[in-house]
Amino acid sequence: MAASTSSTSDGVAATPAQPLKAPPTPLPQRRLGPFSVSAIGLGCMNICHAYGEPVPEADAARLLLAALDAGVTHFDTAALYGFGLSETLIGKYLAPHRDRFVLASKCGMTGVDLRGDGKRVRVIDGRPATLKTTCDEALRRLRTDAIDLYYLHRWDKRVPIEDSVGALADLVREGKIRAIGLSEVSAATLRRAHAVHPIAAVQSEYSLWTRNPEIAVLDACRELGVAFVAFSPLGRGVFTSTPPDPQALHAQDIRRAMPRFAPEHWPRNLALRTRLVALAEQVGCTPAQLALAWVLARGQHVHALPGTTRVAHLLEDLGALHVQPGAAVLAELDAIFVPGAPSGARYNAQGEEEVDTERF
């Protein structure tokens, strides 16, 4: 775990948070670089970014503290999420408990007011100076002296990966971060980066309907001793008990621009989900729990990182740690969701251009 701190990097006292319960029996653990963390972590994007309006601050605080109460020791955020709001909320409510969890955040993709009208635009910028500035800003928001795992959120293809990782290695030497991660990169890029400085983790989208990591990077991580962190393991809500209605999505919901939720693709994808639901009933668990159990069964180096805004959903997700689907069920899931079965690309053209991952 990280060293305990209850103040910001600039000396401002952390905001007190409500008392927590006694630490629970530890959840099943997996290695995340130099750390041991709960096999299921909490992605902290949903509370303020990408899926509509941010939740009320009280609800965000309740979720963060409930996760800690439940034994989650892996919290993941980014400078992009809410343009700093996610990091701010984590700093405000979890800094007093900093010795109880591993903190991951990301740089290299932030929101910039390019027009001067207060409306931020997402910008990918992997220049060394930008990454170091973003880190300093994150440390202040997170109210900590060091970030345990710091990812390059996207590889800026205008900047050699060696230069961006070199800047992160400088931050390790300065004690501002403890380990380096990469997000949405290919196996080839991982190997180039790993030659500059050991990479602790790769984070990419991985779920029943997004199996691109199986092309190469999942095995490359295993070979190099790198943890693989699966974000959106529930198919951006599709594999939960209450799947999204594409026609009712908030105007700011990023799924509105994702082909799989478009009218020409959605019926086929919903039909795949129906088969998952039936299989989960046979196993005796929820669809979300079975989908998460499938992800965790891909290897001991694989972590699941679901996000939510509701405590009940958080606890349901953690229940996946007690689901044992068996080889036959896992094989049936593989067959249902064979690559090519889901209809539509996972991102639109711009999103596909921004990532460096292999594609089927």
Positions marked catalytic: 81
Length reported for the chain: 360
Q: From start to end of 184-237, where are the E strands?
A: 201-205, 227-231
Which one-letter DSSP state was computed for residue 346? S
d(CA 202, CA 204): 7
Which secondary structure element, helix H or strand E, spans residue 317, and what is its range?
A: helix 311-318
* First-residue to last-residue Cα distance in the chain: 38
Strand ranges (DSSP E) for 52-118? 74-76, 102-107, 109-112
Name, in order, each residue with C-beta under 8 angstroms of 271's C-beta and a sequence gap of 6 or more. Answer: none
Coil, helix or strand at residue 287: helix
**At which residue do the structure tokens 């439940």 appear?**
70
Say how far apart CA 246 and CA 54 lie, in whole Å.
19
- Please, which residues bridge with residue 250 across strands? none
Alpha-carbon distance of 34 to 178, in angstroms, equals: 9
Q: Report d(CA 52, CA 176) in Å as an integer.
A: 32
